Chain A
Amino acid sequence: MAQPLRFNCMHFMPYAHLPENHKDYKSVWVNLSNKHYDPEKGHALYQRYLAELVLADQLGYDAVVVNEHHNTVYSMMATPNLIAAALVPQTKRARICVWGTPPNLMLPNRLAEEYAILDVMSNGRLEVAFPLGTGMEYWANPVSPATARDKFRESLKIILQAWTADGPTTHYGTHYTYRFLNPWPRPMQRPHPPCYIVGTGSPETIDIAAEYGFGYASVFVTQERCRELNENLRKRAGDFGHTIRPEQLPILTFVYVAETEERARQEYVPHLKAFFEDYVRTTPQYLAPPGYLSVDQLKIRAAGADKMHGGFDFDLISKSFFIAVGTPEKVANQLGHWAEWMGSSHINAVMHVADMPHWKTVKNLTLFAEEVMPRLRKGAPQQIAAE
């Protein structure tokens, strides 16, 4: 490990009160009626989740991470910049990562403005990621999935122009026209806050990250695939004259630490099971609205979906994805190994999932900060890799 690892605390902020008959619904996204949303419960959850992210800052996590989803119990952050704004005055050291708002779902100048405001308010602690947005977001918003990729590219160009060029500038494009692109304020960090592209590995999103020299945050892809994508990005970025640094390749990991392996599993696995079985449950139609994927990608994914049979199997899923559950020593070794293997120095750790109660989240956050992070920050990397 050439450089010390960085640790994020990522939170999905799920609405953890699924209706009793939720198993009857094929999807908990897009069309699950919001009549099931209780604002009183929502209030309590916001209070709690914000406190958990504030605690992460106090415990020494390098960053807190929020993101955006619509029409779902999976996330209560339809507008993550509001959450980030609430975190700014309550946190001191941690970087604030909005990973992020799909640019297609907002006017690009407005997104550039909101991010700049957060960056200035937080004294340069903002990091942003640009997702195309899941297929589900396109069912929830009045934006065509068929022209999404083209629009996404144009939005990115506008946002970067707004941040880096002295205004007023103009933009005359296919989807947007700006006669006076001149947002006040501009970001604190120059030329702009660190940027990542979020994706599930379609060649199109990899290419965008490569072109801009941005980081790439893979989500919901297997360990092997994630490594392959990092490799692809490094190569493609080279074609554009960029070198991707290890901290630009966050590894999305699900982490739970406890005193013993057995206890960790006992305390964690039911919530992880709920996450995979219930909170991400959606339909192929919602995942891939018309025109959202190329036909080739659609076929690859449809073929993959055919192979996914049977229910939740913790051991199997732990081998496929980055899931580290166990004693501090085991988790540290696993994360150290993954970082080495992936050529990354950036652990993006999900410390709460699904209906996990507050006490477990606090325990997990604390044990990880006090027992895992120090091992990896000053540990013997060669030895860890050898193990």
Chain B
Amino acid sequence: MALLEVTDLRTHFFTREGVVHAVDGVSFAVERGKTLGIVGESGCGKSVLALSIMGLIPRPPAKIVSGSVVFDGSDLVRLREKELEDLRGREIAMIFQDPMTSLNPTLTIGTQITETIRRHYDVSKQDARKKAIELMEEVQIPRAAERLDDYPHRFSGGMRQRVMIAIALSCDPKLLIADEPTTALDVTVQAAVLDLLDDLRHQHDMAMIIITHDMGVVAEAADDILVMYAGQVVEQAQVLELFDHPEHPYTEALLSALPQIEGEGIRSGRLTAIPGRPPDLIHPPEACRFASRCPYANANDTCATVMPELREVRPGHQVRSAHPASERAGSVVGSEVPA
């Protein structure tokens, strides 16, 4: 049985201007010890999805209107706040994007780490501090024992992110959700943090969901990938399969919009831009949400009137589109994308 199984999750925001369908029918599963990468641009609902899993969405405007999030047998959506609090940190942990604002500037690092430990385990302050030092060493913060009582502002961005990881790991969770963990970091630090996450994952046999807009990060870190657009999953596959055979027009466009580092004629070539903008989530289109920007859509297709379902077009590879690459006229099934 999968560690986490999300079925048809819908999270809507009830605002004055209307109901924002931020997450609109998302289903996926995460196996123990594996990493799922969720990619999409801003507004696609990936962060709201993560917060919904953790039960951290702001409850007046937002609400999980339907669906289930089954973690290790129990449906998180049905749990009471107290039970969720017991779960958070202990079984499922989360790290956030901006290390500058996700740590409390008025508490020492030591306090913030031990606070989490003592919330979930009945240990003395001494023992908690010992554990905290161990954790800091594990995330490779130099001179851990001395720095335990430092305040966040004395750490650099990369170090703070490590502290966040230490806090997240303090109770040995089964699942770690990382929301844009490297976006605010420099490229060289990014690589180190990803390596750290990878090592820790192996050592603790932890599953991970990594949410990002960066295709490169997900290519490195993920085993499976979910591509999100306008609140829905539009493509789902294993990482090699997805990059070798991108099926959904959005995924293809996204990949070809990326500037390249290697190759010929880069300077003179144009990037393939995606015209237009993502749809309004208050009044999403009845039919395919990508249609207005899709180079293959035309008024006579089913996708103009009916929402395409998520279906399998290649083994283990699901797409929500009426025009997946392998079904387009002129394409040869099984052909490789030129590397």
| A and B interact | no
